[in-house]
Amino acid sequence: MKNMGWIVMSSIMIFATTLCAVDFKVYPSANLDEKLTKEALKMSAGAPGGNMWNVAIYTTKDSFEKVCTFYKKIGNEYHMPSGIKSMKLPSGTEIKSTYFL
């Protein structure tokens, strides 16, 4: 579940800061994960324009649905035309993604 929260929060954080140039509201029970943030910054450093990204990884133990409900109150849900809403890893873990503008 922690990985799910990481994926949700990182997707929301990256998408919100790159497209919306507005103040980002952190989910109330989310906590900044400094280790994951440092790893994400290292990964983005080699990407084109990666030095322009503002990356912060937040995690929560709350469900994906609960986090989405929070963000639906303050933004519009967006579905990537070529994106998938969920997928399963070989381990059986389900990864879900949703974007809010």
Q: What integer is the mean pLDDT of 47-74? A: 87
Mean pLDDT of 6-19: 53
Q: What is the DSSP secondary-structure string of 78-96?
A: E--TT--SEEE-TTS-EEE
Q: What is the pLDDT of residue 71?
A: 93
Whether the pLDDT of residue 21 is over 50: the answer is yes
Domain boundaries, given as residue ranges, for the chain: 2-100
> What is the pLDDT averaged over residues 97-101?
86
User: CA distances (Å), 18 to each of 49, 53, 65, 90, 91, in order?
Assistant: 11, 7, 23, 31, 31
List phi, psi (to 5°) of 78.
-125, 135
- Residue 20 predicted with pLDDT over 60: no
Q: What number is the average pLDDT over the span 51-61?
A: 85
The lowest-confidence range among 27-41, 55-69, 84-98 is 84-98
